[in-house]
């Protein structure tokens, strides 16, 4: 029997932030419905801590009012909870779909998170045009036509596309290019297109090629190949050797596609094979894509989760987030069943608009496919753990070299790029325990109007000022992982002094700063490292820490140069007309056709501008005023 003394005893063990979090949850329980839905835990800044779903919200959330029964990780979450939000749904399946979308969108740190959300490339045979086009496609199915995929990587789809073009000679050019051509392009010369743009193929013959490509991508590869073999033999028997050679080359192209698809299955037509392997508190999930009985490649995922998370929970979270923005196939073969498999299956079926079967095969061909995916998951996780271990040793070496209190969890490296000061950009790359953190990379277009062209010190001051002003604004408490544990700058003592001046102006004196200067004759391996209050140091040529720091410096340099080149190319391809409000592609084209160049447009009078088709008197005045602001 529980009495007031027991209640008081419990209250005495819960105090401080944990008690405050429990109080917030209890207040929300007073009005929480006993229906399906999704709940969100929010911290004091309104940021999501956790997103969960429940068949009965009240019964599920009440468990958080007993933190002594929860893990330390969940207790930390409760202690941070300052508010809650609830969305009710009609069914638990709807709740699961909503939960997966919110986790993917919000990324709450106490949820299992799938970070890699890149869309997969597909092959599209377009519709809505007399001469179908075959192209690589990513994203929503907004164009008319038939989509084939997904392929695991751009490399896989590019290889397949190149072989398909040799096999079926379908055009890959855009409709605009197709309409403008009167002579065959290079692809016709190298036998990768039948040149329908120049009338080198009859409509019926081209439609037959399109039909063969569709059939091949739909799983009828053997029939298509046998038909081509028969045609080649017939042409050879009729002594039409050139035509026989064409069929021979097409057969070779199809064989090349099949050679890249190294795992086939006669039993599995359309399925994803999903295998999970856990070790060292981490998880790898391998996904193999089978379409039309052919393997379209695989990809490894490493979801973020607590070390004690069960495999079934990780699998359920992965499936929900993985298929949140892509259509599931008719069958998903699993190495580990998800938690709540019936609900997950219903949710995926609702997402697909048809039945989606989840299965953990025990024997036969399907089991062989799952075992193969599981082997790949184990090997990928082993490589990742080995890399993490090596990375940890390197970070320990960096901490020792620069006198840091602990291995840095976030290293920021800065570099600039310009040509005589034009199109100047600054670049920041980020590295941590898991290697390069490319999602955290940033670029800075240099804005200062009074900056002397080519003044690297001034550019670095601008970049660092903007970077740390933003960090101080967005993460003032330094608890969101946006502050670096070490800043590396390409340069010598001068660049270091400029960077330290920026931090001093901002009132920051606790951000470790190091500059890397190339040695005599700018030889790699003879770098010197400058730190405030310490003599410059160098490392032995074969020191792995030196190699690691060189790689970071070179990555920042590569990223800065790439960004600069992209900005310069965009500027070269631009026009002063792009800056005039209301001038779109059609009006720009009309003006350039009429006057010959943007310079002539700028020099034209208002009446001359109004004489251009599509340019009204009001638009002519706007264009004239843009180029003659004092007039």
pLDDT given at position 14: 65
Does position 409 have pLDDT exceeding 90, yes or no?
yes
Q: Do 279 and 307 meet the contact criterion of CB atoms below 8 Å apart? A: no
Q: How does pLDDT run across 547-585, given as a tens digit for each residue? A: 899 889 989 988 888 876 776 656 555 667 777 777 887
CA-wise closest residue to 559 among 428, 423, 460: 428
The percentage of the chain sitting over the pLDDT mark of 90, rounded to a whole number, equals: 42
Instruction: Return the pLDDT at 263.
Output: 54
Short-list 257, 180, 192, 183, CA closest to 225: 257
Go through the chain and tell me how many residues it has. 631
Q: Which residues pair with 88 in a beta bridge?
A: 37
Q: Identify the H or E element spanning 295.
A: strand 294-301
Is 52 in a helix, a strand, or coil?
strand
> Coil, strand, or helix at residue 560?
helix
Per DSSP, the three-state class of 29 is helix
- Residue 606's SS3 state is helix
Least confident of 55-59, 109-113, 421-425, 476-480: 421-425
- HSE, CB side, 13 Å, CA atoms: give it for residue 22: 18
pTM summary value? 0.67
CB within 8 Å of 191: residues ≥ 6 apart: 166, 169, 246, 249
What pLDDT score was predicted for residue 319? 96
CB 298, CB 289: distance < 8 Å? yes
Q: Rounded to an integer, what distance in angstroms lies between the CA atom of residue 102 and that of residue 324?
A: 10
Domain pair 270-383 / 411-553, same fold: yes
Q: What is the pLDDT of residue 62?
A: 94
Please compute the mean of the pLDDT values over residues 411-416 and round it to a whole number. Answer: 92
- pLDDT tens track for 39-69: 999 999 899 999 999 999 999 999 999 998 8
DSSP state of 335: S
576-627 maps to which CATH number? 1.10.150.20
Query: 4-106, what's its fold?
Result: GIY-YIG endonuclease (3.40.1440)
118 or 595, greater pLDDT: 595
What pLDDT was estimated at residue 434? 83
Helix (H, G, I), strand (E, B) or coil at 185: coil
Least confident stretch, 403-417, 505-519, 616-630: 616-630
Average pLDDT over residues 328-354: 94
Give the Cα-Cα-Cα angle 255, 258, 263 (nearest 5 degrees).
Answer: 150
Give the domain ranges of the chain: 4-106, 122-260, 270-383, 411-553, 576-627
pLDDT at 520 over 60: no
Find tokens 């997402």 and name the residue. 351
Calculate the alpha carbon distances from 106 to 49, 110, 560 in Å. Answer: 9, 11, 30
270-383 is a CATH 3.30.420.340 domain: yes
Q: What is the dihedral of CA 534, 531, 555, 420, to 10 degrees?
A: -120
**366 Rama sector, left if φ>0, alpha if ψ -120 to 50, beta otherwise:** alpha
Superfamily of domain 411-553: UvrC, RNAse H endonuclease domain (3.30.420.340)
Tokens at 600, concatenated = 């002539």
Calpha distance 50→107 (Å, rounded) = 9
- Enter the tokens of residue 183: 């002579």
Q: What are the DSSP calls for 529-553, one per residue?
A: EEETTEEEE---TT-HHHHHHHHHH
pLDDT band at 416 (very low <50, low <70, confident <90, very high): confident
**What's the mean pLDDT when you consider all of the chain?**
85
Instruction: Give the DSSP per-residue string, 453-471.
Output: TT-HHHHHHHHHHHHHHHH
Token look-up 């980020």 returns 430
């Amino acid at each position: 029997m529980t009495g007031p003394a027991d209640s008081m005893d419990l209250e005495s063990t819960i105090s401080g932030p944990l008690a405050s979090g429990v109080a917030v949850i209890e207040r929300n329980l007073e009005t929480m419905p006993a229906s399906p839905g999704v709940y969100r835990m929010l911290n004091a800044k309104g940021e999501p801590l956790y997103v969960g779903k429940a068949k009965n919200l009240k019964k599920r959330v009440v468990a958080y009012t007993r933190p002594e029964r929860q893990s330390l990780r969940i207790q930390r979450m409760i202690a941070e909870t300052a508010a809650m939000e609830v969305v009710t749904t009609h069914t638990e399946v709807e709740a699961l779909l909503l939960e997966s979308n919110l986790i993917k969108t919000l990324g709450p740190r106490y949820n299992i998170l799938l970070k890699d959300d890149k869309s997969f490339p597909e092959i599209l045979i377009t519709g809505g045009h007399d001469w179908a086009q075959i192209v690589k496609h990513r994203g929503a199915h907004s164009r008319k036509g038939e989509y084939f995929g997904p392929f695991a990587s751009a490399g896989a789809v590019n290889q397949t596309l190149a072989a398909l073009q040799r096999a079926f000679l379908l055009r890959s050019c855009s409709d605009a290019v197709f309409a403008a051509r009167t002579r065959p392009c290079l692809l016709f010369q190298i036998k990768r297109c039948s040149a329908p743009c120049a009338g080198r193929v009859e409509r019926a013959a081209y439609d037959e090629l399109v039909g063969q490509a569709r059939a091949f991508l739909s799983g009828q590869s053997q029939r298509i190949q046998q038909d081509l073999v028969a045609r080649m033999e017939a042409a050879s028997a009729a002594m039409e050797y050139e035509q026989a050679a064409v069929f021979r080359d097409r057969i070779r192209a199809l064989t090349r596609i099949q050679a890249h698809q190294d795992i086939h299955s006669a039993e599995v037509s359309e399925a994803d094979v999903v295998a999970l392997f856990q070790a060292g508190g981490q998880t790898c999930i391998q996904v193999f894509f089978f379409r039309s009985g052919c393997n379209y490649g695989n990809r490894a995922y490493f979801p973020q989760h607590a070390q004690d998370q069960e495999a079934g929970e990780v699998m359920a979270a992965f499936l929900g987030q993985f298929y949140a923005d892509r259509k599931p196939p008719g069958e998903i073969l699993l190495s580990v069943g998800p938690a709540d498999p019936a609900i997950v299956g219903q949710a995926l079926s609702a997402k697909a608009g048809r039945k989606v079967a989840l299965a953990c095969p025990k024997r036969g061909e399907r089991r062989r496919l799952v075992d193969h995916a599981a082997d790949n998951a184990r090997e990928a996780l082993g490589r990742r753990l080995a890399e993490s271990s090596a990375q940890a040793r390197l970070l320990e070496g960096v901490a020792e070299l620069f006198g840091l209190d602990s291995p840095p969890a976030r290293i920021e490296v800065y570099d600039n790029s310009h040509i005589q000061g034009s199109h100047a950009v600054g670049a920041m790359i980020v590295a941590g325990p898991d290697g390069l953190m490319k999602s955290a990379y940033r670029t800075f277009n240099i804005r200062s109007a009074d900056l002397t062209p080519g003044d690297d010190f001034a550019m670095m001051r601008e970049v660092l000022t903007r970077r740390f002003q933003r960090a101080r604004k967005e993460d003032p408490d330094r608890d969101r992982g946006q502050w670096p544990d070490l800043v590396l700058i390409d340069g010598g003592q001068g660049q270091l002094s400029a960077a330290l001046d920026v931090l001093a102006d901002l009132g920051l004196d606790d951000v470790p700063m190091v500059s890397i200067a190339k040695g005599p004759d700018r030889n790699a391996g003879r770098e010197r490292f400058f730190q405030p209050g310490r003599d410059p140091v160098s490392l032995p040529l074969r020191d792995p820490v030196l190699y690691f720091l060189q790689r970071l410096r070179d990555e920042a340099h590569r990223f800065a140069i790439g960004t600069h080149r992209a900005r310069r190319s965009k500027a070269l391809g631009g026009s002063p007309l792009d800056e005039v409000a209301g001038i779109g592609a059609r009006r720009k084209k009309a003006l350039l056709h009429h006057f010959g160049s943007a310079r002539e447009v700028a020099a034209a009078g208002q009446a001359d501008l109004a004489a251009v088709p599509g340019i009204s008197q009001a638009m002519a005045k706007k264009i004239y005023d843009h180029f003659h602001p004092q007039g």
